[in-house]
Amino acid sequence: MTKQIILVFLGGGLGSALRFLVTKYLNKAHFNIPYGTLTVNILGSLLLGIILGWAIKNNALNSNINLALAVGFCGGFTTFSTFAFENQSLLKSGDYLHFLIYTLGSIILGILAIGLGLFFSKSL
């Protein structure tokens, strides 16, 4: 159990650090839509689909690699709380158009990215 916690911790730390860098770079342009958070959530969904698809295909859902990458890295890289906060900020400012674009785009693209990742994992 200790080894598993350390793997999730290390993967999560790497994912969080990379999320910080991506969002810092992409959100600094002051767009109305937070493209940094959108990007990490979509890329994280794609990567999660690939990892879980590979794990299902190889009967490795409980493997250490799956823990470090799917639970740790993808969990640290993606962020629902920031997504929710940014949506609240858009609503508070009365920017309903960008709220709808960001919310629906994130959900639809995230689901499509998971599906694409699962599709890609079939060839791994």
Q: Which residues are annotated as a binding site for Na(+)?
A: 75, 78
Q: Which residues of 75-103 are buried (b: 16+ CB within 10 A; e: fewer)?
A: bbbbbeebbeebbeebeeeeeeebbeebb
| Single-letter amino acid, residue 52 | L
Q: Which residues are annotated as a binding site?
A: 75, 78
